[in-house]
Structure 1
Amino acid sequence: MILEHRTYTFKPGTVDKWMKKYEAEGLPIQKRHLNRFVGLYVSEIGVLHTTVLMWAYDSLADREARRQAMYADPDWQSFIAEIWALDAILQQDVMIMNPAPYSPPV
């Protein structure tokens, strides 16, 4: 298993609008295609205007196949075009994490 850890940094004042749109439109599309939704977290202390989104996959190949299918989905293409048009995201960082042998399964 691998964990995809995505950090998004937003312009101040745009996180709530993005989160509402993501919950209503983006997350349902991703749940159709991606494997296990681990969660979406919002910064409260520290680097503000930041979210962390996590998905678990069986392997890198599993992740690649699932994301390719999602990218080909017209619903996703429409959603992501609208997200970029919001001009809210300042930075996006993606890490692929391998669990330690004693980590609990996700």
Structure 2
Amino acid sequence: MIYEERDYHIRPGKLAAFVACYRDHGVALQKKYLGTFVSYFTTEIGELNHVVALWGFNSLDERAAMRKAMLADPAWQDYLARVDGMIERQTTRILTPTDFSPLQ
């Protein structure tokens, strides 16, 4: 299994609105299309206005196919319009667990 870490830096003052919008309009759609939902985090100490989402996939090919299907859904496009202007920047990393990691 591979893990995708999506790291969002949210515009100051928009974190609560971004998280609420994701909760109400985004996460159910992603669960419908994507792999294993691992977790969703916000920060309280250190770098603020920061959200991290973790998703698990069997392979990069599976991830690509699932994301393509999700991006074609008009409901996902509606969600993207709702969060437009809230995200300052985003990074995505693919993580591979070590052989002793509890996440395999």
Pick aligned residue for 2:90 from 89, 92, 95: 92
* CA deviation profile, 1:52-100 (whole Å, cap 9, x unmatched): 011000010110010000001111011112211xx11111010000110
Question: Does the CA-based 8 Å contact 2:21-2:82 persist in structure 1?
Answer: no
TM-score by length of 2: 0.95
Give the alignment of 1:1-106 within 5 angstroms: 1-84=1-84, 87-105=85-103
Q: What stretches of structure 2 of length at least 5 have no aligned partner?
A: none
Measure how far apart 1:102 and its partner are. 1.4
- C-alpha distance in structure 2 between counterparts of 1:50 and 1:17, whole Å: 13
SS in 2 for 1:46: coil
Quote the sequence identity (%). 38
2:95 alignment partner AA:
M
Give 5+ residue unaligned stretches, structure 1: none
Q: C-alpha distance in 2, partners of 1:105/1:89?
A: 29
Deviation above 6 Å: which 4+ runs of structure 1? none
Question: TM-score normalised to the size of structure 1?
Answer: 0.94
Instruction: Please give the per-residue CA displacement for 1:37-60, whole angstroms capped at 9, x wherever unaligned.
Output: 011100111111101011000010
Q: Which amino acid aligns with 1:94?
A: T
CA RMSD of aligned residues (A): 1.0
One-letter code aligned to 1:97? L
For 2:23, what is the secondary structure of its paired residue? helix
